[in-house]
Amino acid sequence: MKTLFSVIAVESKKLTRSYVIWGTLALCLFVCAIRAGGADWNTYLGNVVYMFATVLGLVGFAVLTSWSFGREYTDRTFKDLLALPVSRGTVVAAKTAACLAWCLILAGITFVFSLLVGFIVGIPGFSETLALHYCIQFMITVAINLLLCGPVVFLASISRGYLVPIAYAFTTMMVAFIAGPTELGSYLPWAIPALQLAGSSDAVFPLTSVSYLIPVMTGVVGLAATWAWWRWADHK
């Protein structure tokens, strides 16, 4: 366990020293800030959560996680990493934990920043109940998008880089935009975060219990495949 925490600390330091994490944060803050004009709090917070349910969650998290795994190949540090007295499974677990932690940190900073911008701009109609409602919705969509990073880290590993998983993230985002409003959207893992935000008993295609199980299975299968690849694949 001590070894795992040590590797997590190392992977976290790699992320904090990269331009990727700070560029992603800057993009999130900018996008949320420009949504503050000409709206009430209900519309504004709804837009912030929607942006995380779609673009910022699907693509932003994918960029960060794919860079963490893919850079080991592009920077040619992968063999050095395997030479360390640490099991491959521990490395995968540490990288995953560091990525998830920093995605949560970025999401939390963005939501708090959005509230501050709203108060500074003077958006009307604020209430604690409304803020709590969107905070809960925000954390649910963030959690679902984190689960969807499972296939991203697997693709980063088998493709030995981060271009393929980033392309995958953009492709899934487009699929979610196109098929999300249809009946098929309830069973597409990438459309479920946005449908969760808009979901209600009056929705045309409401989510079911199976819909929430799909992202969980997607994340578990992706991470399990990643662990198996790092553990047994022939790395030359």
* pLDDT tens, position by position, 9-61: 888 888 888 888 898 889 888 888 887 766 788 888 888 888 888 888 888 89
Contact 203, 191 (CB under 8 A): no
Q: Can you give the pTM of this predicted structure?
A: 0.87
Helix (H, G, I), strand (E, B) or coil at 75: coil
Residue carrying structure tokens 């920043």: 113
* pLDDT tens, position by position, 119-130: 888 888 888 898
Distance CA 211, CA 196 (A): 10
Distance CA 205, CA 10 (A): 44
Q: Which of 131-140, 181-190, 216-225 has the lowest mean pLDDT?
A: 181-190
Amino acid identity for residue 193 in this structure: P
Side-chain half-sphere exposure of 150, counting CA atoms within 13 A: 20
